[in-house]
Structure 1
Amino acid sequence: MHSDQEQKLREKIGRMLADGLQTQTEPFPENDTQFGQLLTQLRDIDAKDLKAKLVLSGFTNSPYGEDRMRCQECMYYLVHRKWCDLPELALPVEPDWWCRLWRI
């Protein structure tokens, strides 16, 4: 995907979230087993079903929780590309967004 395509998709995701897309922010996976189950569910979603990916992964367009977690501090976030490098997501993201697959 080229950077202009990534930017357009990032803007589309931003609009979906700003328009009030209800996502599943809870439960947050507390261990590797729960994290793996969530990844398995994501793999079962059609790769082109953006809405389902966002809903299941619990995307928000702002930092989340008491610790104000955000994509920028996640181990899967590629700073210079503004990209989530988790294979099951592989989406352009903003640094202040968050999802429940967040990890340090």
Structure 2
Amino acid sequence: MASDPEDILKTIAAMLEAGLETEVEPFPETDKEFADILIKLRQLDPNDLKGKLVIGGFVDHPYGPEQQRCMECMYYLVHRKWCDLPELAVPVEPEWWCRLWRI
């Protein structure tokens, strides 16, 4: 995996734009369901970008009836355009979303 966040962001954007199928459902409704997804992510090689995107359920647009997006997620670092959830730790665009979204 490239080490420059801008290059990684471009790679992610290209993968999502190309139609990468990710696990957007089921959305974790409980702490246990959320933790189960984190366990799957921890089992990946930290450089497995595709695996992170698939298990995390990333999409390159707002999602759900409330049109949730990374911008409003507690893990989003605005000035870095970065998901700070340790199991993901990837650059993201503010309009994207993943199923580990939290307020």
TM range (shorter): over 0.9
Give the Cα–Cα distance (whole angstroms) in 1 for the partners of residues 5 and 57 of structure 2. 20
Write out per-residue CA displacement over residues 14-73 of structure 1, whole angstroms, 9 at most, x where no aligned residue.
Answer: 000000000000000001111011101100011111111100110000000000000000
2:60 maps to what in 1?
Answer: 61
Unaligned runs of 5+ in 2: none
Q: SS at the partner of 1:24? A: coil
Give the Cα–Cα distance (whole angstroms) in 1 for the partners of residues 87 and 55 of structure 2. 11
Shift of 1:5: 1.1
1:31 maps to what in 2?
Answer: 30
Runs of 4+ residues over 3 Å off in structure 1:
none
Give the Cα–Cα distance (whole angstroms) in 1 for the partners of residues 18 and 40 of structure 2. 25
Identity %: 59
Give the Cα–Cα distance (whole angstroms) in 2 for the partners of residues 21 and 37 of structure 1. 22
Query: TM-score, normalised on structure 2?
Result: 0.96
Q: SS at the partner of 2:4? A: helix
Give the number of aligned pairs: 101
Give the Cα–Cα distance (whole angstroms) in 1 for the partners of residues 58 and 37 of structure 2. 13
Question: What is the alpha-carbon root mean square deviation over aligned residues?
Answer: 1.0
Q: Where do residues 13-52 of structure 1 align in structure 2 (5 Å cutoff)?
A: 13-52=12-51
Unaligned runs of 5+ in 1: none
